[in-house]
Structure formats: C-alpha cells, structure tokens
Structure 1
Amino acid sequence: MRTMDDLDRDLLSALRHNARISVSSLAAMTGASRATVAARIDRLVENGTIAGFTIRTGHEMRSAGVRAIVLIEVLGKMADRVADQLRGMPQVRALHSTNGRWDFIAELEDRDLGTFDETLRRIRLVEGINSTETNILLKSSKSSF
C-alpha cells in the first residue's frame, strides 16, 4: 500500500468536513485536476482508507457523543507512518504534532463509549505508537468540533 501524501490528506480532511463536496470543488481547493482527485478518492476507497461516506445531523452535532484528547508518544522515526494511519481514521477529527513528551495530540470524536473504546484499541495497535494518555472532554465552552 502506498503511503498517503499531502493531496490524500487534504482530500480526507475536506471530505470529513463535507462528504458531499463535489470533485470539482475538491480539485479547485487542492489545485489538482478533477481526474486526479476522482482517481485518488477511488484509490482511498479501494484500499480501505475511506470506509464510507456519511452525514451528521444537527442533533448529532449538538450531542457529539464522546470527545477526547489523546496524547501520543511515537517510537523512533515512525512519526510519518503513525500520522498517516491516524489521519485515515474518521474518528480523528484533528491531529497536531507537538514538542515535549508527546509527539502528537489527536482530537477524537465517537458516538458512544463502546465505539470510543474500540477506537482507542485501534489507535494503540498502530505500529510505532509507544504510549498514549487519553483525556475525555466533559464540557466545552467553545467547541471547534
């Protein structure tokens, strides 16, 4: 499997925010041709990076389920590989690189504790992740999700 590049990540990010965005709009946003964008999306679907397209209703937006911050420590020089894997998970709403003890901070959102637990299990199984620390967000005064 080919590693994701900046175009793949840009497409995934845009599709996370709006799964109905047109190929033409994605092409204009990324500077790639429509044919390239369509081929990349097809490849991301075929290789399982994109498992499906969905919508979130207003009700779901108001009650986001479980939201959390996961602090991630990466082994050696595996940061790029780990980042590619995490960016491909739809529950990862944002991924930030950082300095200090933790290499990444992932913002997660899942519908309930059961699926959230499964997401954490999948994250911990990503090759290259040495340790994690998870903080569930209880209340937000200003939401970026």
Structure 2
Amino acid sequence: MTENNSSAPKPTGRGRRASSAQDRAEVRSIDELDRAIIRILQKNGRTNNTDIAKELDVTETTIRKRIAQLLEDDMINVVAVPTPKAVGSSTSAIIGISVALQSIHRVSDQLRKCPEVRYVGMSAGRYDIMIEVFASDQEHLLEFVTDCLGSMDGITDVETSVILKVAKFSYEWEII
C-alpha cells in the first residue's frame, strides 16, 4: 500500500521539484570549499575542474560533485553573458515604473517578455518596478518607452535615466 502525501513537492519537467514555502525555508548553506569554488568561477567561468582542484588541493571528483550540487540547488548559474556591445546595444537606461498596485505582477510579466529588458525588479520606494533596458540607439529607446511602456495597462508613471557611461560592470561579489 502506498501513501498519498499530497503536500509533497511535485517534480517539474527538468528534474527539479516545484517550489513551496517550505522549500524556500530550507535553503542549503554553503561551506568554505563551495565559496572558494564560486570565487574561482566568478573570476573565470571557464576554469576547468582539474585546475580548480589543484588550486584548492582537493580531488577533481570533489570539485565536479560540488559544482553539480551547487547547480542543482540553484546556488550558482554558469552562463556566458554577452556585453551590450556584442548584441548591438549602445544605449542603456534604468527605468523606474509606477503602477496601479493590483497590476504589478501582470506588468512585471509583460516586461519580462520584452527583448530590450535585461532586469525586472519589484521594489519598495518611489517606484513599484525597476527595469534595465538595452537599446540599439536613442531612437530605439524612445520607441520602447513610448510604444511598449506607453501601451501597457496599469502603468501610471515612468522615469527614464539614460546611462551615459558604465564605470563598473561586474558579476563578482563577496560570498559570505
């Protein structure tokens, strides 16, 4: 006889469990070896497991298993991030958006689908949503603001800050 535990997380299509409040509360802590691996990968995501193992004085198998576990637990992502220049975007902007609060999730979902939008964050403070946008030029940015944002129901105000020069662009931060 099998038990039917309806509160158990359901598998998803990629071998991951559907998240729940309990899953979010059970965040795995990372140890010093995990932190060291992450630091190395932050500097060069293409560093191979053998080189990481030599630097940290552990076996390649240990590194391979640790990286696999960090990936499975959603503690890291290893990706190639093209620069705006690589994709033909020479203009970037940070845009603060005020919305009718009952529309915040719907507007955020619509913004996530826009190819110009690279970051969407729901925020507390002056704006309800903050986005980062990359455009090919100022005309493209103008079209995005007027046509795309201007046509979304629920948006009540928009403030666009054009980035004149990027002084620092980094994915590195201290792992605590």
Q: TM-score range by the shorter chain?
A: 0.5 to 0.7
Query: How far apart, in 2, do the equivalents of 1:58 and 1:79 lie?
Result: 29
Q: Classify the secondary structure of the residue corresponding to 2:125.
A: coil
Return the offset for 1:31: 3.3
Q: C-alpha root-mean-square deviation of aligned residues, in Å?
A: 2.8
* Structure 1 segment 1-145 matched on structure 2, within 5 A: 28=14, 31=16, 60-61=85-86, 64-121=89-146, 122-143=148-169
Return the offset for 1:63: 6.6
> Which amino acid is the alignment partner of residue 120 of structure 2?
L
Return the offset for 1:64: 3.3
- The size of the alignment, in residue pairs, is 95
Return the offset for 1:57: 7.7
Q: Which runs of 5+ in 1 are unaligned?
A: 1-26, 33-55
Structure (1 or 2) with the larger CA radius of gyration: 2
For residues 31-78 of structure 1, the C-alpha deviation after alignment (integer angstroms, 9 at most, x for no partner) is 38xxxxxxxxxxxxxxxxxxxxxxx98793397311000000011311
Structure 1 length normalisation: TM-score? 0.57
Q: Classify the secondary structure of the residue corresponding to 2:159.
A: strand
Point out which structure has higher relative CO (alpha carbons under 8 A, 6+ apart).
1
Q: Which runs of 5+ in 2 are unaligned?
A: 1-12, 18-80, 172-176
Query: How far apart, in 1, do the equivalents of 2:107 and 2:158 lie?
Result: 13
- 1:66/1:59 Cα in 2 relative to 1: closer, same or farther (>3 Å)? closer
Q: Share of identical aligned residues, percent?
A: 28
- 1:60/1:130 Cα in 2 relative to 1: closer, same or farther (>3 Å)? same
Q: Who is 2:10 aligned against?
A: none
- 1:82/1:57 Cα in 2 relative to 1: closer, same or farther (>3 Å)? closer
